[in-house]
Amino acid sequence: MKPNAPRYSRITGTGSWLPPRRLTNHDMAAMLAARGVETSDEWIVERTGIRARHFADDGVNASDLALHAARHALEAAGRRAEDVDLIIVATSTPDMVFPSTACILQAKLGASGCPAFDVQAVCSGFVYGLTIADAMIRAGSASCALVIGAEVFSRILDFDDRTTCVLFGDGAGAVVLEASEEPGILASDLHADGRHVGILCTPGTVSGGQVLGDPLLKMDGQAVFKLAIGVLEQSARAVLEKAGRSEADLDWLIPHQANIRIMQGTAKKLKLPLDKLIVTVHEHGNTSAASVPLALDAAVKSGRVKRGDTVMLEGVGGGFTWGAVLLDF
């Protein structure tokens, strides 16, 4: 970068990783039937759009999925681990209570020395992480950041609760975000409302050498659905206004991949044709903080999202948290 040049951040590479074990809805139905829990491919597809999800094998952790995704993103950006000067991992399923999954990843990647930390904003974690990395790059605190969403939600699912266990999957997505004279990230809009902590949570914790409370995911699906559909529209409009752009400028909308009905509802409210909506929920399920970067990488690899396209990323989930990032790719 030239001295005194304007300083922005721009995505220079994307990558992702799904654990190889793929379970279709039929596989899930058979697995649950063995426990006396009834579900069906028809119900899951009709209510959510999900057809399959990936589960990590025992012993494979969020940092392992993140490592694959990070390596792919670095390769796409033409960067090496030594070039990275900031690592942010968004996850709600960390390898350990501490240290952070970002530090564990840093050691596996061989990028020691740079700051590394986790962001906990559940399914909004990636847009939170990207916003933090953008701010640090524009402030001059970093110039080549790895921002990753990595989750092993299969570890916190209650397979006796059909209303939640069929919805989630494991995976990781990553971007390399670099300092640039050209924007890149145009605007962000982040929010949280802690009054809704109880509608989507994993309430257990570790205390005195034991798990206290229930360590499995709980969700009031209808409450989340209603909130999500409202805040995704609000955040989309807010981030466009901040950037001085309009819905007509959008080439692609990449919302959190939880439910096809929420995604299509958001696109319709924004009067976006559905072919501008990137959808991976049918193949990935809901991978929480990994869902947006996984969908972004799929869209880049398939040739849909191209250099110069205007893309909106949106997250929503536990907390309650939500937000959007608008960028020129």
Which residues of the shown chain bind ligand UT7 in the complex (CB under 6 A)? Answer: 39, 43-44, 47-48, 123, 162-163, 166, 200, 221-222, 224-225, 228, 258-259, 262, 286, 316-317
> Residue 134: helix, strand or coil by DSSP?
helix
CB of 105 to ligand UT7, least distance (A): 23
Say how many residues make up the chain: 329
User: What gap in Å lies between CA 16 and CA 3, rounded to an integer?
Assistant: 34
CB of 173 to ligand UT7, least distance (A): 15
Among 81, 95, 101, smallest CA distance to 146 is for 81
* Residue with Cβ nearer ligand UT7 (13 or 255): 255
DSSP 139: T
Confirm whether 61 is a catalytic residue. no
User: What gap in Å lies between CA 91 and CA 317, rounded to an integer?
Assistant: 12
Nearest-CB residue for ligand UT7:
221
Confirm whether 123 is a catalytic residue. yes
Catalytic choice (68, 72, 256, 284): 256
Confirm whether 68 is a catalytic residue. no
Instruction: Report the first-to-last Cα separation within the chain, whole angstroms.
Output: 19
> Residue 16: helix, strand or coil by DSSP?
strand
Q: Locate tokens 């989309």: which residue? A: 236
CB of 111 to ligand UT7, least distance (A): 30
* Residue with Cβ nearer ligand UT7 (43 or 159): 43
Residues 6+ apart with CB under 8 A from 317: 121, 122, 123, 124, 200, 224, 256, 258, 288
Catalytic choice (103, 114, 123, 144): 123
* Residue with Cβ nearer ligand UT7 (59 or 194): 194
CB of 216 to ligand UT7, least distance (A): 15
* Residue with Cβ nearer ligand UT7 (104 or 121): 121
* Residue with Cβ nearer ligand UT7 (37 or 135): 37
Q: Locate tokens 């997250």: which residue? A: 315
Tokens of residue 264, six digits: 């299509």
CB of 160 to ligand UT7, least distance (A): 12
Among 277, 225, 227, smallest CA distance to 247 is for 277
Tokens of residue 31, six digits: 């697995």
* Largest pairwise CA distance in the chain: 66
**Catalytic residue ranges:** 123, 256, 286
